[in-house]
Amino acid sequence: MKFDLLETALLLGGIAFLAGCYGLLYGVGRLAQRQSIMLAGFACYAFLCVLVAVIVSTTPLAGPWKAIVVVFALGFLGIPPVTWRFLERTHPHRRRS
C-alpha cells in the first residue's frame, strides 16, 4: 500500500485541480460566449473522470473513500453551472444587459 501513497495523493490533487480548471474555463467561456473555451472546460472535466477511474481501479483507498471521491467528482460537474445561474438571477444589472 505504501508505494501507492504518492500516486494516490497526486491523483486526488489532480482531481481538485482539474475541477478548478473546468470551473475557470467554464466561467470564462460563458463570459466570452465562446463555445470553444467551454468545450476546453468540459475536456478538463473528462480528464478528471479518467483520474477518478484510475483512483477507483488502482489505488489502495478503502471502498467508501472511493465512493466519496466519485460523488464529489459529480458534485464538481454541477457547481459551475448552478453557481452561474444563481449569480445571474441575483445580479439584476446583468439580467438587464
Partner 1 sequence: MYRSQQLALKYLAAAIVIFGAMVVAGLMSAYYYINPDFLFGLLHFNISKTLHIDTLVIWLLFGFIGAVYWYLPEEFGIEPVGIKAAEVLFYVLCAAIAVVTLVFVFIQYGPSNEVGMWLVNQGRKYVEAPRWAAVGIVVVMLVFAYNVIGTAIRARKITGIVGVLIVDLIPLIVLYLDAFPAARNMSVDLFWWWWLVHMWVEATWEVLIGCIMAWALMNLLGTSRRIVEAWLYIEVALVLGTGILGLGHHYFWIGTPQYWLAVGGFFSAFEPLPLLGMVIHAIYDAGTHHMKTTNRPAFYWMLAEAFGNFIGAGVWGFMMTLPQVNLYSHGTQWTVSHGHFAFWGAYACGVISVCYLVLQKVRGSAFLDGITWRWAFAALNVGLVGMVGALLISGFAQAFIERAQGGSTLEAFIAGQENFWFLDGMYARFAFGLIFAAGYVVLAYDLLTIGRRLPVHAMAVAE
Partner 2 sequence: MAKVSQIEDPQFWRAGAISIVLVMLIVLIMLTVDSLAAITVGGSHVPPYTVINQKIGYKLESSRGIDVPTIGEKELLFQHEYTPAEAEALIDKGKLVIQSRACMDCHTFFGNGAYYGPDLTKAWLDPAWEGWKGITGAETRAEAMTRFLMDPVKYRTWGRTMPNLHLSREEATAIVAYLKWMAAVDTNGFPANFGQISVNQ
Amino acid at 74: L
Among 33, 35, 57, 90, binds partner 2 (CB under 8 A): 90
End-to-end CA gap in the chain: 56
Name every residue whose Cβ is closer than 8 Å to that of residue 28 and which is 6 or more positions away in sequence.
37
Binding-site partner at residue 89 among partner 1, partner 2, none, CB < 5 to 8 Å by type = partner 2
89 binds partner 2 (CB under 8 A): yes
Q: Give whole-number Cα distances, 22 to 18, 30, 53, 58, 75, in Å.
A: 6, 12, 18, 24, 12
Grid cell 483512483 is found at 55
Residues 68-87 touching partner 2, rule: CB under 8 A, are 86
Binding residues vs partner 1 (CB under 8 A): 1-3, 5-6, 8-10, 12-13, 15-17, 19-20, 23-24, 26-28, 31, 60-62, 64-65, 68-69, 72, 75-76, 79-80, 83-84, 87, 90-94
**Binding interface with partner 2 (CB under 8 A):** 2, 86, 89-90
